Amino acid sequence: MNNIETKEAKYKKIIIALSIIIPLAVAALFGINLKELGFNVEPLTFLPPIYASINGLTAILLIAAVIAIKKGNKKLHEQLNTLAIICSLLFLVMYIGYHMTSDSTKFGGEGVIKYIYYFILFTHIILSIIVIPFVLITYMRAKLGKFEAHKKIAKKTFPLWLYVAVTGVIVYIMISPYYV
């Protein structure tokens, strides 16, 4: 086994672990309300528009990264994707912080719009879990210089990640009138 294969095997174990740990941690922390546990914390009600904006920025970064690579600018492509990953991590931290300090907001729409909202929300949540290993594997392959393998999985990762970023904004816009 050469050095790249050794690194890839090591990274794959980390990717598998993160792909399991992140959704489980989010689910566990989502169910914890610090106020209910007796902590004197102010609700972080200012966060939803910020993390929705970060989702929008992530979508823009992803599109810009594709444009950069199509123009042959590998360095800019890498920087934009790295920034998109950082934005996704910031979103995650803020999302958890909001839900640990604030009561959940119920969607108040009725009729067809309610079903549209829940369809978008459901697909957003499911794909946000599915996209984790795709993003990490795509990034790892680029870092290891396995550009053909990177390009192959990136064609799947990009639309999934873009969908998650865009639907995050849509979900926020649809539920924002119901925030207290």
Q: Which tens digit of pLDDT belongs to each residue from 10-59?
A: 999 999 999 999 999 999 888 888 888 888 889 899 999 999 999 999 99
Cα torsion 23, 39, 47, 113 to 10°: value is 70
Total of domains in the chain = 1
With contact defined as beta carbons under 8 Å apart, do 68 and 135 qualify? no
Cα-flanking dihedrals φ and ψ of residue 98, to 5°? Answer: -60, -50
Element (H, E) at 50: helix 47-70
**Side chain identity, residue 40:** N
Q: Which tens digit of pLDDT belongs to each residue from 51-79?
A: 999 999 999 999 999 999 999 999 999 99
- Provide the domain limits for residue 142: 3-178
Domain holding 66: CATH number? 1.20.120.80
pTM of the model: 0.92
